[in-house]
Amino acid sequence: MRTEAAGSMACLLCGGRALASAFYPPLVRCRDCGLVFRDVPDGGEQAARGFDEVYRRADADRLVQERRAVLYAEFLARHAPAPGRSRLLDVGCGTGAFLEQARRAGWSVLGLEVAEAAVEAGRAAGIPMRVGSLTGAALPPSSFDVVTLWNVLDFLRDPLGELRAARSVLRPGGLLMVRVGNLRFHSLLDRSARLLGFCAPLARALQRQCFFSQASFDARTLRALLERAGFEDVTVTNSRPSDGDPYGTLPRRTEAAARAVKRGVHLVVRAIAAGSRGRLLLGSSLSATALKGGAT
């Protein structure tokens, strides 16, 4: 355990300075609110550079987007545009795969992305996109009906500021949707990999599926962040997993097995969530929806 050292960051959720070591450096846990994050002051800039490199390798992003298509379709089936309520903003939109599906579903779309390579690819496909973050985009207040962040919030250096900016651009009664990795799931994988060190191949396979972002949320800290940003009617659930192995971390021959395991695990965590009345969320990812208040 440790407290603040010279040069340490403040907590990305509550601003606290009492930090304890977590998992492995540079990960720390805020002793005030429980958020786990990377104690790296330029972490956001590093993430932006990393994404730009990814999007310059078109095949890598294409695989991820293909495996998330079922998630996009599920969301769009639940949330349809209506007359006068059809403006959708996707933050961290990558090359625009979700925006393209949303546009086909009748939404008027705009994407924001920090990686210039991704924006170039999206614009070449005719998708309206801008380079930059939501906090720096200077979009008109109350100009969107839906704002989405698909596996983006946990990579941001200032997730609270980005959510407050999202609330600003939403119309009263507008919907926010975020999807993030689930700290409880990935911490369990990490501990399991350590315990199974005697079986190196299995331990390595588990470790490859374990990921800690710039900020790693569980259901409690995700809800707290959304409420701190001013959102209402916050709902946090287990997210349906993406199909198969979207990041190519496993041998291709194990794809069918990986798909079956993920489906089985999702059924189990859904049962646990139902049995605990939503208090125990152990899925690999979390989805949250929230509303901007003030609708008449």
254-290 tens-digit pLDDT: 777 778 888 898 999 999 999 999 999 999 999 999 9
Helix 97-104 / helix 58-78 crossing angle, nearest 10 deg: 40
Confidence of residue 194 (pLDDT cuts 50, 70, 90): confident
Question: What contacts 68, CB < 8 A, 6 or more positions away?
Answer: 97, 98, 150, 242, 243, 246
pLDDT surpasses 80 at 111: yes
113 in any annotated domain = yes
pLDDT band at 113 (very low <50, low <70, confident <90, very high): very high
Please report whether residue 265 resides in a domain: no
Sign of CA dihedral 8, 188, 34, 153: positive
Q: Is residue 267 part of a domain?
A: no
Host domain of residue 28: 1-41
> Considering the domain boundaries, does residue 198 fall inside one?
no
Question: Confidence band (pLDDT; 50, 70, 90) for 59?
Answer: low
Q: Kindly list the distances between the CA atom of residue 107 and the CA atoms of 14, 186, 202, 287, in Å, as whole numbers in the listed order.
A: 35, 34, 44, 21
The reply to whether 149 and 218 lie within a common domain is yes
Please indicate, yes or no, whether residues 11 and 65 belong to a single structural domain of this protein. no
Tell me the mean pLDDT in the region 112-121. Answer: 92
Residue 89 near residue 70 (C-beta atoms within 8 A):
no
Same domain, 10 and 122: no
pLDDT, residue 57, reads: 63
Token digits of residue 38: 């990377």
Residues 162 and 79 in one domain: yes
Q: Is residue 196 part of a domain?
A: no
CA gap 92, 64 in Å, rounded: 14
Residue 255 lies in a domain: no
Q: What is the percent of the chain with per-residue pLDDT over 70, rounded to a whole number?
A: 88
Identify whether residues 21 and 34 lie together within a single domain: yes
- Tokens coding 170: 């939403």
Q: Are both 120 and 27 inside the same structural domain?
A: no
Residue 127 has pLDDT above 70, yes or no: yes
The per-residue pLDDT for 54 is 63
Return the closest-CA partner of residue 239 out of 208, 254, 217, 215: 217
- Identify the pLDDT of residue 294: 83
pLDDT value at 220 more than 70: yes
Average of per-residue pLDDT across 187-210: 77
Reported confidence tier of residue 192, pLDDT bands at 50, 70, 90? confident
User: Does position 178 have pLDDT exceeding 80, yes or no?
Assistant: yes
Asked if residue 97 belongs to a domain, the reply is yes
CATH of the domain at 103: 3.40.50.150
Domain match, 32 and 74 both: no
How much is the pLDDT for 225? 98
**Are 10 and 155 in the same domain?**
no
Q: Mind listing the pLDDT tens digit for each residue in 30-43?
A: 999 999 999 987 65
Amino acid, res. 62: R
Amino acid 1: pLDDT: 41
pLDDT at 50: 60
pLDDT confidence of residue 279: 92
Using the predicted structure, report yes or no on whether residue 53 has a pLDDT greater than 80: no
Q: How far apart are CA 206 and CA 227, in angstroms?
A: 33
8 shares its domain with 56: no
278 in a domain, yes or no? no
Do 111 and 35 lie in a common domain?
no
| pLDDT value, residue 254 | 74
d(CA 2, CA 18): 8
Same domain, 110 and 129: yes
Q: Say how many domains are in the chain.
A: 2
What percentage of the chain carries pLDDT values higher than 90? Answer: 68
Same domain, 5 and 97: no
pLDDT digits (tens, 9 = 90+) for 1-16: 444 443 478 999 999 9
Indicate the burial class of 260 (C-beta count within 10 angstroms; 0-12, 13-18, 19 or more).
Answer: exposed
